[in-house]
Structures are given as structure tokens and as C-alpha cells.
Structure 1
Amino acid sequence: MLDNANLTGTHVSWTLIASLGDFLDAGMFAGTGITLSAILAYLHITSTLLAGFPALITLLGTAFGALVFGPLGDKYGRKFIYQVDMIVYAVAAILLAFSFNFIWAMVFYAIIGISVGADVPTSWSLISEFAPKSGRGKLMTYTNIMWYVGVLVELAIAIAIYNTGITLFRTIWIMLGIIAIIAWALRRRLTESPRFDVLKGRYEDLHSATKILGSAQEATISASTAPKYKEYRYGELFTKYGGPLLFAWFLYLMWGIPASTYGEFFPYIFSSLHLVSTRVVFAFEAIYFGSAIVPGLLIYYFLTDKVGVGRYPLYLTSAAMSAVSFLLLVYKPFLYNVPVLLISFLLFGIGQGLGVWPITRLYSLEHFPTSIRNSGQGFIWFTMRFEGAIFGLFTPLIVKASVTYIGWIAGIFFLVAFIVVGVMGVVAPGYVRTESKSLEQTAGE
């Protein structure tokens, strides 16, 4: 009934509320990068290696938060997780704003990361599980856009008060703490995932969800009419769903290293070129992230759920654009040419919004059964953020050697993703052509 329902304003509003986790994930990423220089100066940190610690700690926190809380979301429910984690985020963010030494700052960075790791994979599972099958891609568009909006809000603050040092740092993190409290309050109105309720035999809880989401048949739900879901054990995620897990891990690795590098080190990277002022670097970052919103709303949104013209061609197009955007940086005359840099930012921004990031999210959700969907997300996020953390630790050293190395690494990653997904479309189309299929169908295939 929910699979065949029309997409309604309630679907959208629930998705936006759940997607506040994406806003706060982006806030963690961009906030760490935007305020890095300020907190390093305030705490008198001069070591290049220690400059990578805030990124390392937040990413490691996210990795282990996802690994631990992913299975808990499958055991106790999606709502159980996302009612608690926002309060933890809020307290840690506000305490971070007033950190007085390096060790306590790292503790609060870690707690923020853990809460993000618990929240975002769970929120995505929830959204996918109440979405109609012909609107799942559309709803996931909002999660992507909320991420970019989170960055743009912070950049607007940074551009306005960019030279205020620790005041900028405190403003950013207090703002994120307040948003987390608002998210916690709004989420109290959401119901549990209908699929999780079916899995656990809570048929009476389904009535309100199906009624709100537009089904006229909610009163017919019972043990005899509801679908039967098998409850898989955590280990079966690796034994029975190893193929989808490997595919999702690969896509997240190819995306995660470039994205986390730009997310947390964009100002650090391009300020090192000494081409423009810090305020202009923030404006460049706003162009980069802002350019992802338009194709997401105007192209991806309308094509992603269309059979034959949806996810597979969109992914290939966007991966190619992303590869070109980074490979432009390997040629030093281009690297020091401001118009070429702007073209590079636009190519990556438009490319990721066009498909490579939201489709990666979809592929990681659609191939797992309900009983281990959150566990699958948690494990994939663990690998992505752990890898990003290790790379982030050495990013300042790589940048110090040459920004061209960033271009080579990220460009090759996206080129490899383009080739692998292109081949998958021929030899294993069930992995990449998932438009208008139910979650049960994609997991079964």
C-alpha cells in the first residue's frame, strides 16, 4: 500500500525533518573546515600534523558511531536512535564552542561525530522505508539538498564574520547545537518505519502511518494481510549480502575520500595557494556547494525514478564530470588560474548534485532487507568515514607537498567509479537499474 501511494506533502515534510541529520552532518564537516584556523590559533596549535586532528576525530567518531548504532537501529527501531542522538549532538556542539584546551576539544569533536554516525544512516533507512517505490529517489534528493544547505548557511556566517577568529568558531558550533535541539523536537512527531513495524509484528502501529501517508486501506492491516519479512542476523549481512555490501563500499570509497577532503579542508587547501583572500575562498566554497542544488532539483529530481533514463546514466554523467573537475587541478598553470578553479568547482558541484552522491545513497539502501538495512548502512558508513579519517590526517601534509596530488587522487577515484559502474550496467544491471522497484524486489534481486 505504501509502495503504490502517491507522493504527498507529508512524505516531503517527514523527509525534511529526518534530513536535518544531513544538515548537521554537513555542519560538522564544513564547520570543522571553516573554523579550523580559528581553533588552531586559539589553542596555539602550530603542528601541521595536529592540524589534521579535528577532521580525523570527527570522521573516526562518525565511523564508530555508525558501526555501533547501525545494528541497534535494526534491533530497537529507527525512531529509538534518532530521538536520542540529536540531544547528544547539541550538548557536544555547545560545549565544543567553549573548549579551552586541545584534549577537551577533541573529546567534543568525537562525540559530535558519534552522534552523526548514529543519525544519518538511520534517517536514510527510515526515509527509504516509508517512501513510495516511484518516489524514493525524489525523497532522497531532499537529504542531499539539506546537506548542501547546511554548508551554505555556515559559509554565509563565515563570509559575514570571517575575520573574528574564535567568535566565528563559537557562532558556528552554537548554531549547530540549536539546530540539533530543533531537530529533536520536530522528530517527536514522526512515526516508526512501517517496514520495521511489520518486521517486529507491530501491526497496530501501522494504522496511523499508512493513514497519514495516504493509504485508504490502513484498517485492513493485520498479521494475515501484512507482508512477511525474514529477520536476518548481522553476520548474514556479510555472507548473504556480501555482493551488495562490496558494491556499496566501493562507491562510498570512491566518493568519500574526495568529498570528505573538500568538506573539511576546502578553505585550508585553497588558502594555501595564496591567490585570493580568505573571504573569497569562502565564496568559492559557496559556489562549489551551491552549484549542486540546482541540478539536484531540476534534473536529478525528475529523472531518478524514471525507468531507463534514471540512475545509471545520471551516475555515469556525474562521475565523469567529477573526474574532469579534479583532473583540471593536476596541471599547475590551471591550479593557479582563478577562472579555471571556478570551472573546476562548478563541474564537481554540478556533477555531484546531478547524481553521483544521491545515487550512491540509494544504491546503499536498496539492496539490503529491512532487518539488516540499518546495519548495512552503519558498516558502509564506518568504512567510508574511517578511510576518510585516515586520509584527512595526512591531507595537510599532502597539501603542503602539492595540491596537484589532491587532483590526481580524487580524479582517479571518480574515473575508476565511472568505469566500474559502467561495466555493472552491462554485466549486473540489477545493481544499478533500480528505478520504481520496491525495496523487497531490489533486496531479493
Structure 2
Amino acid sequence: MVESKTYDDAMLSGTHFKWTLIASLGDFLDAGMLAGTGITLLAISSLLHFTTFESGLPALISLLGCAFGALTFGRLGDKFGRKFIYQIDMILYAVASILLAITGIFSSRIVNIVWSMIFYALIGIAVGADVPTSWSLITEFSPKNYRGRLMSITTIMWYVGVLVELGIAIALYNTGMILFRVIWIFLGIIAIISWALRRSLTESPRFDMMKGNKSDLERSAKLLNINISEEENKKFTIKKYAELFTRYGWFLLFAWFLYLMWGIPASTYGEFFPYIFSSLHLVSLRTTYAFEAIYFGSAIVPGLLIFYYLSDRIGRTPLYLISAAMAAISFLLLVYPPFLKNVYVLLSSFLLFGIGQGLGVWPTTRLLSMEHFPTSLRNSGQGFVWFTMRFEAGIFGLFTPIIVAIGVEYIGLISGIFFILAFTVVFLLYIIKPEYVKTERKSLEETSYDEVI
């Protein structure tokens, strides 16, 4: 057995990648919820005769479910463990997705709407429970020199989820509710597979250390091919939930800000891309799906080839600043109305945002929102910022169809301003308070000031 002082200093292994990929299925299903809602919105809107206002309901309900799921299960993940959440959330996602797929079985329009909204909400709750928990688990077993690399896989899995759904949408183009039902049944099946695969995962080693679960800790050490030293077999001070807002309040505010600046533009594209660009009447719906695939697909390459290799070397901040600038430009291109009639300008805008977000904005936001919270509050902190992001995005989503009806350029203006603000704040912190953004190659105890006893 190879000796290693700590989990932080362990060599990157196939087990790390295996656990990360299995945990990242939560991101695949989060993308499935967002993209699936957008891809199937026109079909369900036509079936249930939605008004412009009602067209925002699927996004609102799923995002609010996600928000409250994150807030509730985030805390439970710190009390009962990351793996405890895994035993519940994927079953909920699977059942709700498959039941959503049979929307339209009742003769009453109102009953069908209520039926579908209940299951949109349950899918959202499952996603809100799962993704913050998955990220906590991954960060807590990742070696400190490879944390950015492993967390970048979660981002890539998210984009893969969207691309798979877009492939289905292009293949089943113009089939209406057939597409709707296939998408949601497919996601239900993936959720069942995720639940089955996750049964092989161990608990987070840091959670085991905190709770004194020695036998489970030894199992994870054996699978990672390391020895547990006295230094590693340590206990953490368990902090009260109130300390999340008092002692870690500034870090919580910073994470909230990053999520807000990212979450509104990203959720708008994730759930309303076909709706927004169909309203421009430039290309067919199938071509709109192809444009969306270009947009999301373009994020995978910089994520794999740049962030994956450089985030733990040169750091998160340079990549974040470059990508935030690219994202701002991409949306500001939409502010000039004549550009909205030019397919090539629109393609350039999609590519800029796609490449930019994969290069740094989204994976860095994920990392910085995890690294500043201690083990006993990490899931709670992530759950709270997810609650704020998805709640705000849900409210914005409710009014997105109305904004689109007024003018797509206002979507570009709002999102462009958000990314300008994100660039400015992160740049200033890099100069004035570098400990907020320079977290590469540091242990989670260093970045969160966790006390070990």
C-alpha cells in the first residue's frame, strides 16, 4: 500500500475519477431538468393552452422546488451525511419525472396544469437536494492539488446532459408531446441508474472524521490506496448553523453574489433558449436546437483542455476574469436590435458565452462556493446559496416570457450588466482580499479556517 500523510496529499487515482463521475450524474440530471423544461416548453404550452404568463410556470415551479430542496436537504446532509441524501433524492427524481411524462391524461386543463406543476416541483426538490451534496462529497475526497480538476468534471457532465437531450430533441423534432414524454422518461431512467451506481460510494472521509466513523473511513482509505496517519484521523469542531451567517457571513455573501451573477443568465438560457430564439423567427425550431447544442457544446472544450489542467496550477481567478469578460461581451451583442436579425452575430454570441462559461465562470463559482465553508457547514452553506440562486432565477423565469415579448435585447442588457459586475468584484478581491479567490493548492481546512481538534 502506498503511504500518504493525508487525503489531501494523495495521488490522483482511478477511484477518484470513478467516484466523481458517479456523483456528477447529479449535474447531468440538473441539466436534464433545466434543458428538458426548455426543450419541452413549447409542447406542453400547446397541449395545455398556456398564456404568456403561464409559460413561465414550469421554470418557476421547478426552480423554486430546487431552491427549497437545497435549503432543506443541505442542512440534513451536514447532520446525517452526504450518502444519506443519495438514498432519497434520485428515487424522488425518477418517480416524479416518469409521472410528469404522462401529463395530459385528464380531461380538465386545470387538473393537468396542477398535476404537471406538482411533478416539476418534486423534480426540482430532488435536484436541489442532490447537486450541493454531490459537490460537497467530491470536494471532500479530492486531493488539494487536483480539486479544481475533479470539480471541472461536474461542469462537463452538466453540459453533456444538455447535449444528450438536444440530440433527442433534434431526432424527435416536431413531434410535440412525444418529445415531451421521451425526455422525461429518459431522465427518470438515468435517475434510477444513478441511484444504483451510488450504492457503491463511501461516505465523505471528512464527514467520517468529523463524526468519528472509523470503519467507513478505513474503507475509503483502502479504496484510495492510502494509509490513514494520526494526522489524518482527526476530528473537526462541529459548528452551529447560526455560525454560517455570523462567522462565515462574508464568504456566504460572496458565494451568493457569484451565484446570482451567474445563475440568472445561465438559468434563462438553460430553460428558455428555444423559447427566446424561436421568438426571433430567424430559423426553424430544429435549427434553434442545433444552435443551442453549439452553445452548450462549446463549453466542453475549454473545460476539458484549459480549466481542467490550469485551474490548480495558475489558479481560478485569471480564468474567471477572462471568461466573465467573454460572457459580458456575448450578451451585450444582443443589446443592439439589428444584431438580433443576423444569424452569424447570434452564433458568435452563443460561442462567446459557451466558451467563456466553460473556461472559468461556472467551474470557479462552484469551487469558491464550496471551499470557504467548514466540513460541518459545507452542505448547509452550499444549500443556502443554491436556495438563493434558484429562487431568484425562478422569479426571473416567471417574467422571462414577458421580457422576451417586450424585446430580447433586454435579456442581453440584464445579463451583460451582471457579468460586468462579476468581473469587477472578483478583480478587486484578487487585489484587495486574495484569500477569497486564491484557493488553489490549499486544503479545505486552510480555505475555510476550520478548527481541527
The correspondence of residues 186-225 of structure 1 with structure 2, limited to 5 A, is 186-215=197-226, 217-218=227-228, 220=229
Q: Which residue of 1 aligns with 2:434?
A: 429
Once the two structures are TM-superposed, the CA of residue 92 in structure 1 deviates from its matched residue by: 0.2
- Aligned counterpart, 1:160: 171
Q: Which residue of 1 aligns with 2:445?
A: 440
Aligned partner of 2:108 in structure 1 is none
Select 1:331's aligned residue among 332, 336, 340: 336
Structure 2 residue 413 is matched with structure 1 residue 408: yes
Q: Which amino acid aligns with 2:153?
A: Y
Secondary structure (helix, strand or coil) at the match of 1:239 reads coil
Aligned counterpart, 1:53:
57
Contact 2:132 2:382 in 1 (8 A): yes
Q: Superposed, which structure 2 residues align to 1:177-326 within 5 Å?
A: 177-215=188-226, 217-218=227-228, 220=229, 226-306=233-313, 309-326=314-331
Matched, 1:135 2:135: no
Measure the CA separation in 1 of the matches of 2:353 and 2:14: 31
Match of 2:366 among 361, 365, 384: 361
2: CA distance, partners of 1:344 / 1:372: 39
Native 8 Å contact 1:70 1:375 kept in 2: yes
Give matches, 1:9-158, under 5 Å: 9-45=14-50, 47-100=51-104, 101-158=112-169
Instruction: Tell me the CA shift for residue 211 of structure 1.
Output: 1.5
Matches within 5 A, 1:378-417: 378-417=383-422
3-state DSSP of counterpart to 1:371: coil
Partner of residue 109, structure 2 = none
Q: Please state how far the C-alpha of 1:298 moved relative to its aligned partner.
A: 0.4
State the TM-score, normalized to the length of structure 2: 0.96
Counterpart Cα distance in 2 of 1:32 and 1:278: 15
Aligned partners of 2:60, 2:387: CA distance in 1, in Å?
13
Q: TM-score, normalised by structure 1?
A: 0.97
SS at match of 2:87: helix
Deviation at 1:44, TM superposition (A): 2.4
**Match of 1:235, SS?**
helix
1:418 pairs with 2:423: yes
Task: Give the drift of 1:334.
Answer: 1.1
**How far 1:440 moved relative to its partner?**
0.2
Contact persistence 1:61–1:113 (CA under 8 A): yes
* Matched residue type, 2:379: N
In structure 2, how many angstroms separate the alpha carbons of the residues matched to 1:68 and 1:99? 28
1:128-167 CA distance string (max 9 Å, x none): 0000000100001110000000000000000011100000
Contact residue 6 and residue 214 of structure 1 kept, 8 A: no
Q: Deviations over 1:265-305 (max 9, x none)?
A: 00000000000000000000000000000000001111000
Taking only the aligned residue pairs, the percentage that are identical comes to 71
Shift of 1:225: 5.9
Distance 1:117 1:230 in 2: 26
RMSD, aligned CA: 0.9
Distance 1:412 1:201, change over 3 A: same
Aligned equivalents of 2:194 and 2:410: distance in 1? 39
- Runs of 5+ unmatched residues, structure 1: none
Which whole-Å deviations, capped at 9, do the CAs of 1:30-67 have from their partners, x for residues lacking one? 0000000101111222x100000000000000000000
Paired residues, number:
438
Cα gap change, 1:225 to 1:295, in 2 (>3 Å): closer
Distance 1:211 1:412 in 2: 49
